[in-house]
Chain A
């Protein structure tokens, strides 16, 4: 199951920031992680991921660095900036509130339901 575009637009960047909060990652790694960890719900291809990464980079939420990997190939590694960490924290709080609201309304199943 895939999310609708508008939901993806809201959830995608937060998901990427969250993944990068644990460690720095390269593009393909992010694609795979998003697909596996969300059971395909937040899966995205290059056409969505790289523009999103460039946007986050333009906003100084993440930074990138080309490095040679163990196999000798160049990869671009993305990591969270200080500003990105604050943004992630704020986004998580928002999602938390949204989630509670949705639970309260019965849209989501939770402890209150």
Chain B
């Protein structure tokens, strides 16, 4: 007897192991040693049946494709049947006719014989079916994703360039300064370059180390520098252009048209940007907002430095009118550049304003009474205008984001869509989404292989956020940023933490997890801090100028800041570090100190911690995010909010000491 169902599991596993079965099959197929049908066939041949019946049985066992022992079983059964029929007097024709089509018989035999196979085999077969079925479903699913991903086409529908161009539509060319800024900036840039080359040729002894740019040199050069006189002569030779620059700074706007291509000239073997080719309304189809050129910003920054430096020289030359004109022009540039909708423009304006403040600090400290009241009032008014300029450049950030989204995602007509291969490819010219930094493991190496990335990237359709979700996340985040701008720095804690607000956002090294929000989100923490520092410094400078004006008129310092209101200031100067309170003002016999209570949130009487000062931590006195930290719920790890949605503040963590905005005390000792 050879009945496989009677074997114990161990015997069965040896006899019917799929692996051993495969090996046996390979032996039969590859080495031609034998076949599963050989034993059955030899049994049939030994039975000496008529040829036609013999053929039928052999064909049936062969076609059954069963295991060897099962074929033997069938062969023996059919032989016995045929022999019984012959013994009963049936002819071979009758037997053959009753037998029917051997292929069909083999099929039926195979089906029923398999049902007899033991549980182990059926489990193996069902498992294999489940796995193969799952693989097939996954393959089908992946195939549909790949088709969607690789055939999806973004549709560029909105012309955001027109929105930006519309900002300058109301101004005539006479009201715009961009042409003058480009011309004067080009000439000054070329002069500086010649000066820099001459310095570099002198080697490291020239006072311009290799590591230092001419721009950095520009900020630190003073009378003690060996090249100071030459530099002063260079600026003196630039008088006509400076006059043009001062006039340009009084205009309403910069008004640079939006463009994706600059105009260039060759000079002294180098290419110099002279202007911009304004984009047409058709250009938006092939150019994104991310490619908008702002070539004037470098010029504005350099020209701001030039004006402040020239004011410094004017002071040395006792030319107070020129001193004030230069500072007013520099302040005019700040006003113009801050008026632009771009965040980067506002940061350039803030940087120039800082130079102006430093210069005026030095002057009011070392030369009190130098400026007359009219000059002080002009400076104060322009400073107040600059300080009151609203906006943080988030509108253009939103426009840029929407513009990128329409170039990366499909559009279903309802504002939603999925990532596309075309969009990812397009984005890769600016950033490489989802790459592992170091090849430390096989996985990392695979994840950095372009062909592997191409293969798995369609999964980003399900792994990454869709267009609507990205827009929602980005806008929610920007809304929280704008709330800080609108409501005050004490709302710093309400800025949405992107890491915890979206589970799609966290993995840097996954090529299937792309987040446009992550790519596009400006570094708002530091920028917001600079924004409020600038606003505070504008208020500080305005207060300082008001005190100087008071001193000129009353021949004394005010006892309290209240004395300045309303004659010199419209209201008490706000201290952004101290919600609802004004700046602190301490008067002594040798001068006064004007200060904010700083990032530690308490009044230290106008003193900075000397130890912190010596460790170059002075800037941390003016860090708003240290002052206004949110209270964190220990259980959830999330920021806590009050009933009105305002953040509940934790104890400030800034360094002990105040933020000194102006200290005149050592001047009149």
Residues of A near any B CB (own CB < 8 A): 26-29, 31-32, 45-48, 50-52, 54-55, 57-58, 64-66, 71, 73-76
Which stretch, B79-87, B203-211, B320-328, B510-518, touches the partner chain A?
Answer: B79-87
A28 touches B112 (CB 8 A): no
Whole-angstrom CA separation of A45 from B77 in the bound complex: 13
Task: List residues of chain A with CB within 8 A of the CB of B74.
Answer: 50
Q: Which of B100-108, B145-153, B401-409, B455-463 contacts A (4 or more CB under 8 A)?
A: B100-108
Contact across chains for B105 and A46 when beta carbons are under 8 A apart: yes
- With contacts A28-B81, A45-B98, A66-B76 taken as known, whether A54 is within 8 angstroms of B88 at the C-beta atoms is no
Q: A57: which B residues are within 8 A, CB to CB?
A: 116
Q: How far is the CA of A66 from the CA of B1 in the complex (A)?
A: 6
Contact indicator A28/B85 (Cβ below 8 Å): yes
Bound together, the chains give a CA A47 to CA B110 distance in angstroms of 11
How many B residues have CB within 8 A of the partner chain? 26
- Alpha-carbon distance between A68 and B74 when the two chains are bound, in angstroms: 17
Residues from chain B with a CB closer than 8 A to the CB of A66 are 1, 76
Chain A CB within 10 Å, residue with most, of B76, B81, B109, B115: B81
Complex formed: what's the CA distance from A76 to B81 in Å?
10
Query: Which A residues lie within 8 Å of B111 (CB)?
Result: 51
Q: Which residues of A contact B78 (CB under 8 A)?
A: 46, 50
Chain A to chain B contacts (Cβ below 8 Å), 29 pairs:
A27-B77, A27-B81, A28-B84, A28-B85, A28-B88, A29-B84, A45-B99, A45-B100, A46-B98, A46-B105, A47-B100, A47-B105, A50-B74, A50-B78, A50-B108, A50-B109, A51-B111, A54-B109, A54-B113, A54-B115, A55-B115, A64-B3, A65-B1, A71-B87, A73-B83, A74-B76, A74-B80, A75-B84, A76-B77
- Please tell me if the beta carbons of A47 and B104 are within 8 angstroms of each other in the complex: yes
Known: A48-B108, A54-B116. 4 other contacts (CB 8 A): A45-B99, A50-B108, A54-B112, A64-B3
* C-alpha spacing A113/B382, complex, angstroms: 117
Contact A50–B77 (Cβ < 8 Å)? yes
Distance A27 CA – B113 CA, assembled complex (angstroms)? 16
CA A64 – CA B112 in complex, angstroms? 15
Shortest distance in angstroms between A69's beta carbon and chain B's nearest beta carbon? 9
Contact with B84, one of A26, A48, A64 (Cβ below 8 angstroms): A26
Q: How far is the CB of A52 from chain B (nearest CB, A)?
A: 7
Complex formed: what's the CA distance from A16 to B562 in Å? 115
Which residues on the A side are within 8 Å of B105 (C-beta)?
A: 46-47
Separation in Å of the B663 CB from the closest CB of chain A?
A: 100
Could you tell me if A51 and B109 are in contact, using CB atoms closer than 8 angstroms?
Answer: yes
Cα A102 to Cα B109 with chains together (Å): 34
Most chain A CB neighbours (cut-off 10 Å) among B77, B88, B99, B105: B77
Q: Which residues of A contact B1 (CB under 8 A)?
A: 65-66
B100 to chain A, nearest CB (A): 5
- Report B126 CB to chain A, min CB distance, Å: 15
Residues 218-244 of B, flagged 1 when their CB comes within 8 A of A and 0 if not, give: 000000000000000000000000000
Give chain B residues whose Cβ lies under 8 Å from the Cβ of A58: 112, 115-116
- Measured CB to CB, the nearest residue on chain A to B101 is A47
A55: chain B residues at CB < 8 Å are 112, 115
Task: Provide the residues of chain B in CB contact with A51, threshold 8 Å.
Answer: 108-109, 111-112
| Contact between chains at B113 and A75 (CB < 8 Å) | no
Q: Are A27 and B115 in contact (CB under 8 A)?
A: no
Chain A residues, Cβ within 8 Å of B85: 28
- Given A26-B84, A58-B116: A47 in contact with B76 (beta carbons within 8 A): no
> Which residue on chain A has the smallest CB distance to residue B117?
A58
B278 to chain A, nearest CB (A): 83
A residues less than 8 Å from B108 (CB atoms): 47-48, 50-51
B74 (CB) vs chain A CBs: closest residue: A50
In the complex the two chains form, is A52's CB within 8 Å of B77's CB?
A: no
B80 to A28, Cβ gap below 8 A? yes
Residues of B25-67 contacting chain A, CB below 8 A: none
The 6 A-B pairs at the shortest CB distance, nearest first, are namely A28-B84, A54-B112, A58-B115, A51-B112, A51-B108, A47-B105
Report Cα–Cα, A29/B100, bound state, in Å. 19
A33 → chain B closest CB, angstroms: 12
Smallest CB separation, A53 vs chain B (Å): 8
CA distance A65 to B115 in the complex (A): 18
The closest CB in chain B to the CB of A28 belongs to B84
Bound together, the chains give a CA A29 to CA B115 distance in angstroms of: 24
Given contacts A45-B100, A46-B99, contact A76 B115 (CB under 8 A): no
> Contact between B80 and A73 (Cβ–Cβ < 8 Å)?
yes
Report the bound CA distance from A8 to B104 in whole Å: 18
Complex: how many Å from CA A51 to CA B100?
14
Q: In the complex, A84→B276 CA distance in Å?
A: 95
The answer to whether A46 and B115 have CB atoms under 8 Å apart is: no
Bound-complex Cα distance A72 to B303 (A): 118
Partner of A76, one of B76, B100, B101, B113: B76
Inter-chain contact A52/B81, CB cutoff 8 Å: no
- Complex Cα distance, B119 from A58, in Å, reads 11
**Minimal beta-carbon separation of A62 from chain B (angstroms):** 11
Query: What's the Cα separation between A74 and B2 when bound, in Å?
Result: 13
Chain A's nearest CB lies how many Å from the CB of B654?
A: 82
Q: Taking the nearest CB of chain A, how far is it from the CB of B164, in angstroms?
A: 78
The answer for the CA separation of A51 and B104 in the assembled complex, in Å, is: 11
Q: How far is the CB of B255 from chain A (nearest CB, A)?
A: 89
Contact in complex: B116, A46 (CB < 8 Å): no
Inside 8 A of B80's CB, which chain A residues have their CB? 26-28, 73-76
The distance from the CB of B204 to the nearest CB of chain A, in whole angstroms, is 94
Closest Cβ of chain B to A31, distance in Å, is: 8
Least Cβ distance of A63 to chain B in Å?
10
For the complex formed, measure the closest distance between the CB of B68 and the CB atoms of chain A, giving whole angstroms: 17
CA distance A79 to B98 in the complex (A): 24
When C-beta atoms are compared, the residue in chain B nearest to A66 turns out to be: B1
The complex places the Cα of A50 from the Cα of B98 at a distance, in Å, of 13
A4 to B98, CA, bound (A): 17
Give CA–CA (A80, B101) in the complex, Å: 30
Evaluate whether A52 and B112 lie within 8 angstroms (CB atoms) in the complex, with A28-B88, A66-B1 already known.
yes
Per the bound structure, the CA–CA distance linking A42 and B428 in Å amounts to 75
**Least distance between B59 CB and chain A CB atoms (Å):** 13
Chain B residue contacts of A31, Cβ below 8 A = 81
Interface centre among A26, A51, A74 (most CB of B within 10 A): A51
| Residue of B with least CB distance to A45 | B98
Closest to A43 in B: B98
Segment 563-618 of B: residues with Cβ below 8 Å from A: none
Tell me the complex Cα distance, A86–B489, Å.
86
Closest to B78 in A: A46
Using CB atoms, name the residue of chain B closest to A29: B84
Distance of A47 Cα from B83 Cα, bound (Å): 16
Give A26 to B100 CA distance when docked, in angstroms. 20
B99 near A50 with CB under 8 A, answer no
CB-CB under 8 A from B84, the residues of chain A are: 26-29, 75
Q: Which chain A positions have C-beta within 8 A of B101? A: 47
